[in-house]
């Protein structure tokens, strides 16, 4: 069974990705600070349905210095890592001019620095094992603007740039690197959006609705699967046509 790591896999989009990949037959390793009731129930479902399997590994991804040890432990406990889904992120919004520096720093640390360092340690083991897949969860905010999300947008744009160059770097070692850029999806992270804003986003989208978690999870599954073996260095936008 192929091992896939999903960061931030205990809730929201990450949990949806974890559920999808487990159903698709992967051994999914969810990494997050805390186990949630939803993740526990996903693990029970996984056990019962016998598709793939789902494991939880508690880890605070903002602890950059601990990442090398995390990857070493994962490899020791689970064996070769086939896939990495860099999904964990924080989503503080706020006007840049009055945003606290500590929040700016945390956004960059969790959304950019941490996935880059994690990828460093995972990708080299993928290269040593002959290949693998990396999917970075970006956001349409990385290439379109939204007031109050300048720092978040910067971190998401950084993941797209990271994806493109890393794809070129490790392609000949059999590792594909892609991004998924979701539009606004209903999760805890976007709860702060008011109904009015939500409706406006839906109205401005080609399909007149918001994408749901499962839409994004399917895109991630596709980029991990055989069907996408010739796709690397690209961004798959899942936004119901919001940026079309």
Partner 1 sequence: MSVRLSVISQVEQVAKEQKKKLAPLSDDLVLLDSGLDSLCFAIIVARLEDALGIDPFSTAEDAGFPVTLGDLIRFYEEAGK
Select the span of 104-112, 167-175, 202-210, 223-231 touching partner 1 (CB under 8 A). Answer: 167-175
CB of 80 to partner 1, least distance (A): 10
Residues touching partner 1, count (CB under 8 A): 11
Residues 211/180, Cβ–Cβ less than 8 Å? no
**Closest separation between CB of residue 62 and partner 1, Å?**
18
Contact 198, 234 (CB under 8 A): no
b/e code 101-138 from CB counts within 10 Å (16+ = b): eeebeebbbbbbbbbbbbbebbbebbbebeebbbbbbb
Exposure string for 14-40, b = 16+ CB within 10 A, e = fewer: bbbbbbbbbbbebbbbbbbeeebeebe
Q: Does residue 146 carry a catalytic annotation? A: no
Q: Does 208 bind partner 1 (CB under 8 A)?
A: no
Which of these ranges, 4-12, 51-59, 170-178, 212-220, lies near partner 1 under the rule CB under 8 A? 170-178
Sheet of 27-32: strand order equals 53-58, 27-32, 3-7, 81-86, 132-137, 175-182, 235-238
Site string for partner 1, 105-124 (x = CB under 8 A): -------------------x
Nearer to partner 1, 124 or 198 (CB): 124
Instruction: Name residues contacting partner 1, limited to 52-71 (CB under 8 A).
Output: 68
Please identify which residue in 97, 101, 147, 172 interacts with partner 1, judged by CB under 8 A.
172
**Which candidate, 133, 149, 152, places its Cα nearest to that of 82?**
133
Asked if 128 touches partner 1 (CB under 8 A), the answer is yes
- Candidates 26-34, 169-177, 226-234, 236-244 — which segment interacts with partner 1 by CB under 8 A? 169-177
Compute the distance between CA of residue 132 and CA of residue 152 in angstroms, rounded to an integer.
28
27-32/53-58 β-pairing: parallel
Among 35, 45, 106, 169, binds partner 1 (CB under 8 A): 169
235 near partner 1, rule: CB under 8 A: no
Distance of closest approach, residue 120 Cβ to partner 1, in angstroms: 9
The yes or no reply on residue 127 touching partner 1 (CB under 8 A) is yes
Question: Strands, DSSP E only, in 43-149?
Answer: 53-58, 81-86, 132-137
Among 33, 51, 75, 164, binds partner 1 (CB under 8 A): 75
DSSP state of 143: T
Q: Which residues bind partner 1 (CB under 8 A)?
A: 68, 72, 75, 124-125, 127-128, 169-170, 172-173
What residues are annotated to the active site? 152
């Amino acid at each position: 069974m192929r091992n896939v790591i999903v960061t931030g896999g205990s809730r929201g989009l990450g949990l949806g990705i974890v559920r999808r990949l487990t159903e698709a037959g992967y051994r999914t390793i969810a990494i997050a600070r805390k186990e949630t009731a939803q993740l526990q129930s996903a693990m029970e479902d996984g056990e019962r349905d016998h598709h793939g399997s789902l494991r939880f590994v508690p880890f605070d991804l903002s602890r950059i210095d601990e990442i090398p040890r995390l990857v070493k432990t994962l490899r020791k406990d689970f064996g070769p890592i086939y896939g990495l889904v860099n999904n964990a992120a924080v989503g503080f919004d706020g006007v840049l001019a009055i945003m606290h520096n500590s929040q700016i720093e945390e956004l960059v640390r969790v959304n950019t620095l941490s996935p880059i360092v994690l990828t460093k340690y995972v990708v080299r083991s993928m290269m040593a094992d002959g290949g693998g897949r990396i999917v970075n969860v970006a956001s349409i905010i990385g290439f379109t603007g939204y007031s109050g999300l300048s720092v978040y947008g910067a971190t998401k744009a950084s993941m797209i740039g990271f994806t493109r160059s890393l794809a070129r770097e490790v392609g000949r070692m059999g590792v594909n690197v892609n991004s998924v850029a979701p539009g606004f999806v209903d999760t805890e992270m976007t709860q702060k959006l008011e109904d009015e804003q939500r409706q406006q986003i839906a109205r401005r989208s080609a399909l007149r609705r918001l994408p749901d978690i499962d839409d994004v999870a399917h895109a991630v599954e596709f980029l991990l699967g055989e069907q996408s073996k010739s796709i690397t260095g690209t961004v798959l936008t899942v936004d119901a046509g919001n940026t079309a």
